[in-house]
Structure 1
């Protein structure tokens, strides 16, 4: 996938393109720690999880970098597999709402984070749109903390709808919502749903 420069307000100082997430995992986790509020112990656990996820078939990542190479945002995901831990946790919640079919033929957004100093500039939108544009699956799913937030507002603007709420992940302090969207996502140019 060629590097993309956005047409949003962040251009031309940030470029979205392919990311070797395994090689830059510590930089990505530093962004996630700032954006999501992670402790050092949580970062260590997530490093292991990210590196394990990247071994799955079809896993890929995009990064948002400044012109001097600083990583300021990233997204990664993969085709969903019902045997993965995330799917086994959310499946009962989706079954209750009659939406468990979304676990099949979906590209799951595993993580999407933008450095707080760069939020609100269209970078998150460009990252998620670019990665799902490369998906072979007809739809995308993700989980987000189940509160009204700028992230949830963005997902809704892109076409994601709530599939299940108040999803409890072991050791997570807050409940999550599972959201799904048909691909391609909506965009500012009117493409998609």
Structure 2
């Protein structure tokens, strides 16, 4: 398997958005433009994992979480409630992590997270996952992510907020 960097000028960015929709079984015309827009944010870092045929089987990306960004501000409000908003002071936000359903449980998610976090200079990292996504919860907790808040509602579904100290 091969790993490649995901950037705004990479032909893989549109393929990554299509893979994301397939992996999570969603159809949303805003995903590809969002992937491109996010790739211009400060501190952006993205990776894709390719199989031996060159097909994407995993992806991860994120950027520096900054005041004024939509999700940062939601996270800040939620974490302020329990005194943990300091996690966002020098923080890399994992925005998306997806692994092909047929490739889950093979270490791809762990490897992608490890590599992207090794490439960033921030003191902490933060991410969210749905409360019902038990596979992701196991992955994060097994890899040292700390539950910062459960029952976080950025929309109509319940999420958990996880943080990890990097330095």
| TM-score, structure 1 as length reference | 0.80
TM-aligned CA deviation for residue 36 of structure 1? 1.8
- Alpha-carbon deviations, 1:60-113, whole Å to 9, x = none? 211100122111111001111121100111222101111111111011101000
Q: Say which of 29, 42, 45 aligns to 1:57.
A: 42
SS in 1 for 2:2: strand
Secondary structure at the residue paired with 1:156? helix
Report the number of matched residues: 166
Superposed counterparts of 1:81-100, under 5 Å: 81-100=66-85
Is the 2:17–2:35 Cα contact (8 Å) retained in structure 1? no
CA distance in 2, matches of 1:143, 1:90: 9
* Partner Cα separation in structure 2 for residue 36 and residue 174 of structure 1: 15
Structure 2 residue 15 is matched with structure 1 residue 30: no
Are positions 1:183 and 2:166 aligned together? yes
Aligned to 1:147, which of 118, 132, 135?
132
Instruction: Give deviations 1:114-170, integer Å, cap 9, x for gaps.
Output: 111111110000000000001101211001112351111111111111111211123
User: In 2, are the aligned partners of 1:80 and 1:106 still within 8 Å (CA)?
Assistant: yes
Structure 2 CA distance, aligned partners of 1:139 and 1:77?
13
RMSD of aligned residue pairs (Cα, Å): 1.6
For 2:119 and 2:141, locate their aligned partners in 1 and report how far apart those are by CA, in whole Å: 20
Structure 2 gaps, min length 5: none
Segments of 5+ residues of structure 1 without an aligned counterpart are 1-13, 185-193
After TM superposition, the structure 1 stretch with the greater mean CA deviation from structure 2, 85-94 or 30-39, is: 30-39
Q: Which runs of 4+ in 1 moved over 4 A?
A: none
Q: CA deviation at 1:30?
A: 2.6
Query: In structure 1, the residue corresponding to 2:67 is in which secondary structure?
Result: coil
The answer to whether residue 62 in structure 2 is matched with residue 74 in structure 1 is no
Contact 1:59 1:79 in 2 (8 A): yes
Whole-angstrom distance in 2 between the partners of 1:108 and 1:161: 14
CA distance in 2, matches of 1:35, 1:98: 35
Asked if the contact 2:63–2:95 (Cα under 8 Å) also holds between the matched residues in 1, the reply is yes
Contact 2:88–2:124 (CA under 8 A) maintained in structure 1: no
